[in-house]
Amino acid sequence: MRVALKFTYDGKHFSGYARQPGQRTIEQELLDLLIERKIIASANTSCFRTASRTDRGVSALGNVCAFDTACSKEKIVSQLTRDTSDVFIYGVQSVELGFYPRHAKRREYRYYLMRNDLDVDAVFSAVGLFTGEHNFQNFARVEPLKNPVRTIDNIVIVEKQDFLVLDFYAQTFLWNQIRRDF
């Protein structure tokens, strides 16, 4: 059976999402938890895949991973919703065998900017330039042979106390795309 998990984490406790030798990462923490609780044997044999990766210090509220397992959903829920360290699982769903979470229909990223001396009107004006389909080569780390053209469906800005809260909506983003925009 293939299962998808929805999970959250506070990124300040990790060196990013992807496994790295000698570093505490979300992916390794999640895999260790799944293996320790006998839900999977290994990342390779379970075809473990994730929707999105985050960098050092970046948190996620709704990341998704999927894997093959012989465990029932009930066992997974009972094993993963108690004492799960700094990665919290809050959703379990059976999915089709070919389900691959990287093919998400939409991703959402939220960033907080301190207002300080920020020209709020200029930020509101600038976001319109980034909405739609554009070549983001100068606003991201573009991996070799990766198409730098992406479409940002919407950017919503809300003023909250001393912050501007920016929500970005798109199907895909490039590495560091949003954090380099502003």
Q: Catalytic residue positions?
A: 55
- Tokens at 49, concatenated: 């895949």
Residues β-bridged to residue 160:
163
Of 169, 167, 153, 155, the closest CA to residue 125 belongs to: 155
Task: Say how far apart CA 16 and CA 12 lie, in whole Å.
Answer: 9
On whether the CB atoms of residues 135 and 174 are closer than 8 A, the answer is no
CB atoms within 10 A of CB 164: 18
In sequence order, what are the beta bridge partners of 147? none
With a CB cutoff of 8 Å and minimum separation 6, the contacts of 169 are: 106, 107, 108, 152, 153, 154, 155, 156
Rounded Cα–Cα distance for residues 129 and 30 (Å): 38
